Amino acid sequence: MSKRNNNKSHHGNGGNFKNQNRNNVHKHHKYQGGHNNQRPAQHKQQPGKKVEKVNTSIKAPLFDKSKLLSSWKINRRVGPGYVNGQNTCFLNSVLECLTYTPPLAQQMLREEHQKQCRMDGFCALCAMELHVRRCLKDEKSFSKGAAILPRYFTSNLRALSKTLRLGRQEDAHEFYMFMLSAFQKASIQGLGKLPPKVEETALVYQIFGGKLRSQLKCYSCKATSDNYEACLDLSVDLTNKADSLKKAFENFIKVDVIGSDDPNNRYKCDHCKQMVKAGKQMTINELPMMLTIHLKRFAFDMYRGCMSKITTFVDYPETLDMAPYTSQDKKIKKAEYNLYAVLVHYGYSCDSGHYYAYVKAPNGQWNRMDDEDVTPVSLKEVLSQTAYMLFYQQSSITTTADIAIPAAAPPSISTTKLPEQLLPLAVSEPIPKKVLVDITAKKPSTPERRVKFVDQSAAISDNPRAWTVSSTDRPRRSLRGNLSPETYSANVGDISAWSILTKEQLRKKQQEKKRRRFRIKLESKKNPWVVGNPY
C-alpha cells in the first residue's frame, strides 16, 4: 500500500511509468525508521524558521464515517464521457473511477464542502463536487453521445502538483495520488498542524484509508516488533510469476528473511541484544471501505538497461476475499470486496500509451469509458483486461467467531428521488456566450472568499441524440503514440474550428478509429523489443 509519508518522487511522466517506478522496483513494503526502537534522525531547525505547533484542540473524527453511503441510493444510468484535450486521458480515466466510487460521489452530491470551504484559490473538493453534479445530475449529461470537458481540473493541474503539465503524458496512478492528497489538504485547511491520528479521520481516509503492519520477528528469542502506517492504496509487484491477483498478494505478505545469506547484515534484536536472523512480514491491519489496488507493471530490463512494461495478463476476480492477507490477531475469517472500476493502460511501452477505464454505473451496468466514447460492455470483457489499477468496494467482514460485520448498511435500490435537502436538483446550464466561463463557487458562510474555476463548455445542438461536435483542425498526438481521433483536442476553445457531424458521419469515424487501433496493435506485436514479464 502506498504509505502516507512515502518518499516516492512525483515527477511528471505520461502514459509511462518511468519516473514513478524508480523507487518501486524492489519490494514495496519498506518502512522508514528501524524496528530497533531507534528514533529517525531529527532534522536540524533552520535559523529563523518557526516550528508550527501541533493543534491539539481539534478532536477526532474530522468526518463522521456513518454519513457515508457505501452503495448507490438511486438507480442512475452512466453519465457522459470526457473530452481528451491535450493528452488528458490519464486525468479522464482517474476521474471516471472516482466519479463512480459510491461513497465519494454521493457525499459530493450533497455539496456540503462548498458551504464551509476554507481554501483560498483552487479547491479540489469544491471542484469535485461541481464535477460530480455535472456528471450525475445534469440532464444534458445523460443525452446519447454527451461529453464534457473536466475543465475544473485540466485548468488547475499545477495546483494539484507543480510537476504536472497540460499537453504532456502523465502517469494515472501518480495523478490519482495527487488527487487524494489535494482532497485531504482541502479537508484540513485552516485547522493548523494536526496529530496524524486526527488527520487520518478526514473524508479521504474514511473512504480509502487503511493501515499496514510491518512486523519483525527475531529467530533467536522470538521477540517481535511492529510498525503501523496509514495508507490510501495498495501497490503490489508483478514479479515472481505473479499471473494472478492472488499470487501477487501472496508475494506481498511473504516473509523476508534478514541476514540469511550475509552474517554481516543481520538484525540487532533489542530484546536479546544479539545480531540475529529475523523475519520481516507485511500484512493489512485495517481494511479500507474502498480498496484501490495498483499493479506495478514495470521492471528493469537487464538487456536493454532501462525500465520495461510488464504486459503479462493478471487474473483478477469480481469478488475478492482479503482475509488471508490481514494480520492474524484481527481474526478475520472473510472480507469480501466487489469490483466496481478498472483502469487500463493500453500500450507496450513505459514511455507512451493510452488510458481508459471500465466503471460500474449505479444501475449495475458496466461501461467502457474511453475519453468521449461511452460503451456498455459485459462483465467478461471487464475481467479480461490488462489492468493497471483495480477498485473494489467492501461488502462484508466476518470474524472467526462468525459474527458478520457489514461494511455499511446498504440502502435498497430505489428509482425515486431523494429529498431535496440531500440531493438538490441541478438546473441545466445554458450555453455560454463565451467558450471560457469563470464559474464561481459561492460560499454563504465565507462570502469574502471565492473559489474560481475556469470551465470550457462544448456547444450542444438542440437534438443531441442526432448530432455531435468535433474539431476539424489537425488532432494532437495521443497517448497511443499515434494521432488521436478527431476530437475537440487542443482547439476546443476555438469555435471556428468546430463542425457538426451527422450520426452516419460519426459512425464512419468510429469505424475508422477501430481499424486504426487494430493496425497499431498489429504493428506493436511485430516489435522485437516488446517485453513481457521478465521474471
List active site positions: 89, 354
**Helix (H) / strand (E) containing 427:** none
CA-CA distance, 311 to 309, in Å (whole number)? 6
Place of cell 525500465: 307
* DSSP secondary structure code for residue 277 in this structure: -
**CA-closest candidate to residue 268, choices 456, 455, 35, 464:** 35
CB 177 within 8 A of CB 11: no
Place of cell 460492455: 377
Residues whose CB is less than 8 angstroms from the CB of residue 418 and which lie 6 or more positions away in sequence, other chains included: 73, 74
Beta-carbon neighbour count of residue 322 at 10 Å? Answer: 22
CB 492 within 8 A of CB 458: yes
The three-class DSSP label of residue 255 is coil
Classify residue 492 by burial, with Cβ atoms within 10 Å: 0-12, 13-18, 19+: buried
**CA-closest candidate to residue 208, choices 286, 131, 282, 111:** 286
- Give the side-chain half-sphere CA count within 13 A for 530: 12
CA-CA distance, 53 to 345, in Å (whole number)? 44
**Helix (H) / strand (E) containing 47:** none
Residues whose CB is less than 8 angstroms from the CB of residue 292 and which lie 6 or more positions away in sequence, other chains included: 176, 208, 232, 233, 234, 389, 390, 391, 392
* DSSP secondary structure code for residue 249 in this structure: H
Instruction: Give one word for 451, left, alpha or beta, with left for phi > 0 and alpha for psi -120 to 50.
Output: beta
User: How far from the centroid of its chain's Cα atoms is residue 19's Cα?
Assistant: 18
CA distances from 260 to 256, 263, 282, 363 (A): 10, 7, 18, 54
Beta-carbon neighbour count of residue 359 at 10 Å? Answer: 25
> Grid coordinates standing for 193?
498542524
- Give the side-chain half-sphere CA count within 13 A for 275: 7
Beta-carbon neighbour count of residue 201 at 10 Å? Answer: 20
> Grid coordinates standing for 146?
454527451
